[in-house]
């Protein structure tokens, strides 16, 4: 589904606008479920195996995607749905002092590279959120992750941008509308977290 050019009249009531928005989101979610199940499953299995082997999950993104990065790191460190041990996950977006210092000293393209070089290691999994697939700082992070020997997953929109050819696994949400892509990204991340939760709740201490 391509909802990039959908144009809704400005005279909709608040209730009509809400219903329209939710119906369009549901349509994209159904489309994503039909197209992306295998790829999301592969991501979930990679996340679980990374943590099982002692690696960490590292998340990054800009704007709303930065909020998703921090949201998901929290779900792993604290918990999602089940009681299990805390799991190591880091949002490379966390810390305004770190981000602004890196941007000021090295340029905004390097804001994820600096903490990634500090905390990332071979066997980790870097998860990059970019609705366009073209964010220079996300592309730089993926390249550095490969240098470090970390695995990479990218969540993008329909096109996938340069990230689609750079990350080991790219999950392309079938939409070109930024808000919709971000909403589906979060749903995908929750599905992955649910799988990881179940994995560690079964056998973790």
Report yes or no on 3 lying in a domain. Answer: no
Report yes or no on 196 lying in a domain. Answer: yes
What mean pLDDT comes out for the span 190-201? Answer: 96
Report yes or no on 6 lying in a domain. Answer: no
Q: What is the pLDDT of residues 69-115, one digit of tens each?
A: 999 999 999 999 999 999 999 999 989 999 999 999 999 999 999 99
Report yes or no on 9 lying in a domain. Answer: no
Report yes or no on 5 lying in a domain. Answer: no
Residue 2 has pLDDT above 70, yes or no: no
CATH number at residue 80: 3.40.50.10490
Domain extent at residue 129: 14-203
Nearest residue to 90 (alpha-carbon basis) of 123, 47, 48, 119: 119
Structural domains in the chain (count) = 1
């Amino acid at each position: 589904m391509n909802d990039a050019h959908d144009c809704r009249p400005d005279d909709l009531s608040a209730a009509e606008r809400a219903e329209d928005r939710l119906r369009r989101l549901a349509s994209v979610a159904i489309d994503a479920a039909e197209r992306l199940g295998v790829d999301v499953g592969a991501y979930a299995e990679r996340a679980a195996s990374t943590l099982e082997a002692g690696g960490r999950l590292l998340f990054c993104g800009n704007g709303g995607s930065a909020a998703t990065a921090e949201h998901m790191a929290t779900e792993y460190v604290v918990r999602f749905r089940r009681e299990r041990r805390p799991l190591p996950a880091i949002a490379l977006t966390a810390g305004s002092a770190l981000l602004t210092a890196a941007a000021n000293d090295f340029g905004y393209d390097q804001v994820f590279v600096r903490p990634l070089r500090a905390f990332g290691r071979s066997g980790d999994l870097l998860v990059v959120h970019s609705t366009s697939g073209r964010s220079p700082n996300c592309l730089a992070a993926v390249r550095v992750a490969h240098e470090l020997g970390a695995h990479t997953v990218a969540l993008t929109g329909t096109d996938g941008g340069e990230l689609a050819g750079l990350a080991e696994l790219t999950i392309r949400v079938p939409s070109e509308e930024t808000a919709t892509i971000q909403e589906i990204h979060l749903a995908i991340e929750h599905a992955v977290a649910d799988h990881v939760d179940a994995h560690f709740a079964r056998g973790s201490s």
